[in-house]
Structure 1
Amino acid sequence: MCRHSWPGIACGFALFILVFIYDKLSGASICVLGKAEPSLLLFIVPGLAGGLLLRCGSLHKPLYGALLALPVCFLLLYVGEMPARPVLQEMAWLFSAVFWCAIGTLLSLFINRLRRHLRVQRRTHAR
């Protein structure tokens, strides 16, 4: 059981908001209908960083941070100018960003497991 999970949650929260602000300020999320948005791949970073901060493998801790950041990002979206897309489409975009954050967390779990496996292999071959 991971007792100190707040670094993963805080990292996921802060990085999710930073990637959201970068994406909206850079205009990378403005898309033509039917075209893919590669800017969503940036949301892998908050999940990856949050997952790597945790020692124990936990998928849900960095996702808590991303889910806590959703209302903040939604408010940031409407503080400035009105978005070009409808509200439901913006909500779908934000939830797909959470999906990519989960992919980043899964990637961090894989990296942690691989590092642990390689460490065990070195110990057994050193004897």
Structure 2
Amino acid sequence: MRRVFPFLASAINIVLFVFVFISLKGHVIPVNKVIPQEDFCMLLYLLPGIIACLVSRGEHFVALFLGSVICIPLCLLIRHYFLFEIRSYWEELAYLTSAVFWSMLGVMLVTLYRVWSRQARRQ
């Protein structure tokens, strides 16, 4: 079970990342009505990283990073074949690269919280 765990967390990260991408870009869920400015919508990419890090117990950063990086071509294919394209390929690539940053920031926030809580328990 220990060997499968990084791939499970990575798969959860991929599924949630693609779900957030489709909900933001495909307007499946009206996120822009709740969050009026699109700058704050990028913060939703914190959720896949946070949830995947909680599942993996914060041990497999490389697997979570690779899961996020795998999402870039997957989301570009989804955008090209299934969703209406407004931006160019390079703009979408930059958007997805920053989404990977936000996803990994969620992983780092969970890891920081765990380290901080361990230090607080020791004292």
TM-score w.r.t. the length of structure 2 is: 0.79
Deviation at 1:56, TM superposition (A): 4.6
Contact 1:5–1:61 (Cα < 8 Å) also in 2: yes
Decide whether the 8 Å contact of 2:26 with 2:84 is kept in 1. Answer: no
Look up the equivalent residue of 2:98 and give its one-letter code.
S
Q: Is the 8 A contact 2:6 2:56 kept in 1?
A: yes
Residue identity (%): 28
* Corresponding position of 1:32: none
Shift of 1:62: 1.4
List alignment gaps of at least 5 residues for structure 2: none
Deviations 1:15-67 (A, max 9, x none): 111110111122768xxxxx862211111111111111123534222111111
What's the secondary structure of 1:5's corresponding residue? helix
Give TM-score scaled by structure 1 length.
Answer: 0.77
Asked which structure has the greater CA Rg, the reply is 1
Is residue 2:23 matched to residue 1:19? no
Which letter does structure 2 place at the counterpart of 1:70? I
Aligned length: 115
1:124 is matched with none
Cα RMSD for the two superposed structures? 2.3
